[in-house]
Amino acid sequence: MTDTAGEVVAVGRRKAASARVRIAPGTGKIMVNGRAIEAYMAREVLVMMAKQPLEVTGNEDKYDVRAICEGGGLAGQAGALRLGIARALTKLSEEHRAPLRRAGLLTRDAREVERKKYGRPGARKRFQFSKR
């Protein structure tokens, strides 16, 4: 889907987080929820994770990214942002698909938190067994 301003729009999801990503030609600036990515993401690892699709395709300084991240925590939002950027890059040019696929950046990580079961302290953990 292409926006009226020449932007490419894509959605990425991870855990409970979702990111709506808009990519337009620019200077490599990444804005998340109206703030620079370095200011929004608390850890440098998360910033590196989110920028990974741009580095794999060699487009760090060619596109500006604007994203709205909702839900989950920062790690989930970084993963959602990474998937959204990768999907948007494939919409821009089909030649980006092969390197992104090889790096595993186009696969949606489907792992979710398992729900807590009744009669147990967690999803799978049991209370200590006592014979007597």
User: Residue 20 belongs to a domain with what CATH number?
Assistant: 3.30.230.10
The Cα–Cα gap between 50 and 128 comes to 41
Q: For residue 76, what is the enclosing H or E element?
A: helix 74-92
Residue 2 predicted with pLDDT over 70: no
- Is residue 52 included in any domain, yes or no? yes
- Is residue 2 included in any domain, yes or no? no
Look at residue 65 in the predicted model and tell me its pLDDT.
Answer: 95
Residue 1 predicted with pLDDT over 70: no
Q: For residue 2, what is the enclosing H or E element?
A: none
On the CB side of 110, CA atoms within 13 Å amount to 1
Look at residue 132 in the predicted model and tell me its pLDDT.
Answer: 85
* Of 73 and 1, more confident: 73
- Is residue 117 included in any domain, yes or no? no
User: What is the number of domains present in the chain?
Assistant: 1
Look at residue 3 in the predicted model and tell me its pLDDT.
Answer: 59
> pTM value?
0.89
- Is residue 115 included in any domain, yes or no? no
pLDDT digits (tens, 9 = 90+) for 34-93: 999 999 998 999 999 999 999 999 998 999 999 999 999 999 999 999 999 999 999 999
Label residue 5 by pLDDT band (50, 70, 90): confident
- Is residue 125 included in any domain, yes or no? no
- Is residue 35 included in any domain, yes or no? yes
What residue numbers bound the domain in which 74 lies?
A: 8-102
- Is residue 116 included in any domain, yes or no? no
- For tokens 């953990």, the residue is 125
- Is residue 93 included in any domain, yes or no? yes
